Structure 1
Amino acid sequence: MTEGFTTATRAEPAGPVLAFTGELDAATAPTALTAIQALTLHRGEQLVVDLSALEFCDSSGISALLAARNLALAADAVIALVGVPRQLQRSLKLIGLAAFFPAFTTIEDARRGLSEED
């Protein structure tokens, strides 16, 4: 079993920030899904998923990210990924999901991206 995976959530005025740390794989994806399902999103908010401390992400982790996107869509909110590791960026691009996840370097950049779209 993979050790050291953690999630942390904090509320911000523009929407919640969910951070994943460690390895997001088949063993830890249920923990990620639990954190995602615990989120409360409202119309017009932005869910930021901070991946800057993510060390690894397999297909189970990508499925968890899709669950977060689906949660945002169901709430009429948007999602943004922050600090996406290079390997995960490549994987998302190769499987055709990069366009589903706007990616930014920092949370502040993601928040500015939201205000520019409005």
Structure 2
Amino acid sequence: MTGLTSTVRGVDSGVVFELAGRLDHHTAPEVRRTLADIPLTAGQLLIIDLSGLTFCDSSGIAAFVAARNHATAANATIAMAAVPAQVARVLRLIGLDRVLSAYPTAQAASEEWTRTAHRHRDHRQ
């Protein structure tokens, strides 16, 4: 059984939570605990980077929902990055692709957040 590693790092837009390995019923509880401990503030972006993910079952999908709920509770935004094709397919089938924006990389998600934040600031001035 291959495990899962996770890394949390700050970026200008907020926080990147990187997952590598298998996200399944054995590893999802730790992902949920780690997510709950990530401090978010209003307006930040939480990026879930799946570039190293090799497997994801329904427990992993539930962890993505928990991540969205955590971000929403903090008035933050969430984005997915480097979503593997099989995970993207499941997200489409269950409709989560409508509430979890996806980008090719964490950097692309962060750059889009920055562009959007500047547009909103420019309109308010």
1:7 paired residue number: 6
Which TM-score applies when normalising by structure 1? 0.94
2:98 counterpart residue number:
99
In the alignment, which residue of structure 2 is the partner of 1:72? 71
Q: Hey, what's the Cα distance between the residues in 2 that align with 1:48 and 1:27?
A: 22
Q: Which runs of 4+ in 1 moved over 4 A?
A: none
The equivalences for 1:1-118 within 5 A come to 2-118=1-117
Q: C-alpha separation between the residues in 2 aligned to 1:16 and 1:66?
A: 17
CA apart distance, 1:115: 2.6
Aligned residue identity for 1:34: R
Which has the higher Rg, Structure 1 or Structure 2? Answer: 2
Per-residue CA distance 1:46-103 (angstroms, 9 max, x = gap):
0011000000111100100111111100111000100000000000001111111100
Identity %: 41
Q: Secondary structure at the match of 2:32?
A: helix
Decide whether the 8 Å contact of 2:3 with 2:27 is kept in 1: no
SS, match of residue 20 in structure 2:
strand
Amino acid at match of 2:88: Q
Q: Flag the structure with higher helix content.
A: 2
